[in-house]
Amino acid sequence: MGSAGKEGEVKEKTKEISVAGGGDGVDGMGTPGEGLGRCSHALIRGVPESLASGEGAGAGLPALDLAKAQREHGVLGGKLRQRLGLQLLELPPEESLPLGPLLGDTAVIQGDTALITRPWSPARRPEVDGVRKALQDLGLRIAEMGDENATLDGTDVLFTGREFFVGLSKWTNHRGAEIVADTFRDFAVSTVPVSSPCHLRSLCGMGGPRTVVAGSSDAAQKAVRAMAVLTDHPYASLTLPDDAAADCLFLRPGLPGVPPFLLHRGGGDLPNSQEALQKLSDVTLVPVSCSELEKAGAGLSSLCLVLSTRPHS
């Protein structure tokens, strides 16, 4: 674990800092992180038929109901476009890329820069090509990972508006975290060990500019404690009954007079966490379902990439 220097080196840091709040998760604690949640566009990729079989989706994954998965994906796209007012771009499904809808793993975007990742699974690396072209067409500056020793999945990267946390997991290694630090040199980058077979974003997310939300599992709580030690910024914390509910998206489309949105898996998917999320203030909760897509390893942060092409004020 550590905080990155200007040259992309992830350095050791041992200063003990507590996460503020103790579980009430209240926003509005000062000036928010300027970069968190700014968005004008969302990018998604259609669900191919090859995702429906366990063999097509990857070893160890259960077969799923293709029609239900496609409906969930369609509802997500509709809410991004109609409820949040984003420009929605949808890449077509590709049968050779069964996990292509999980395009959140293929890039890390902040400001006008998109770091194209190098997924741990060689079978998934072709997924980055269509995403790279789409982001180039939107005018983003593209950064590449040229080191063959590096692995990085985008859903192991949590941006708080002030800093990056990179989960060291099955999918992401220390060299991958160093490249994140080298790409986004204006921000501290700290590594967080992930003690379960999950991505970091499967355990925790941002419920607001100063609020970290996390699941109640041991792995999720260990990740939050590690982040607390590494950060120089005070964050409130909100613990949710379900780890999957912590994989939420705080989004600020910049619509006049409209508060930020929190896209989350509440409602029918995770009703207990829906109730807990009501403690967040100054956000409009927008529940979506991805219970069928979850069988292929999908969470909200993996099913879309959000970005802003507008100048930052």
Domains and CATH numbers, the chain: 39-267+278-307 (3.75.10.10)
pLDDT at 292: 95
Local confidence band at 259 (pLDDT 50, 70, 90 cut-offs): confident
pLDDT digits (tens, 9 = 90+) for 135-158: 999 999 999 999 999 999 999 999
pLDDT for the residue 191: 98
Choice among 27-41, 72-86, 109-123 with the minimum mean pLDDT: 27-41
Nearest partner of 239 among 260, 257, 259, 218, judged by Cα: 218
Mean pLDDT, rounded, for 167-196: 96
Residue 14 clears pLDDT 50, i.e. is over it: no
For residue 30, give every residue at least 6 positions away whose Cβ sits within 8 Å of its Cβ, in sequence order, or none.
Answer: 210
Question: CA 303 to CA 155: how far, in whole Å?
Answer: 10
Would you say residue 256 has pLDDT above 80?
no
Q: What are phi and psi of 27, to 5 degrees?
A: -80, -175
pLDDT at residue 16 above 50? Answer: no
**Residues with a known catalytic role:** 199, 304
Matching residue, tokens 């929190």: 262
pTM over the 0.85 mark: yes
Return the exposure string of 2-26: e unless at least 16 CB atoms fall within 10 Å of the residue's CB, then b: bbbeeebebeebeeeeebbbeeebb
Categorize the per-residue pLDDT at 28 as very low, low, confident or very high, splitting at 50, 70 and 90: very low
> What percentage of the chain reaches a pLDDT higher than 90?
77
Lowest mean pLDDT among 22-36, 48-62, 153-167, 241-255: 22-36
- Is the pLDDT at 53 greater than 80? The verdict is no
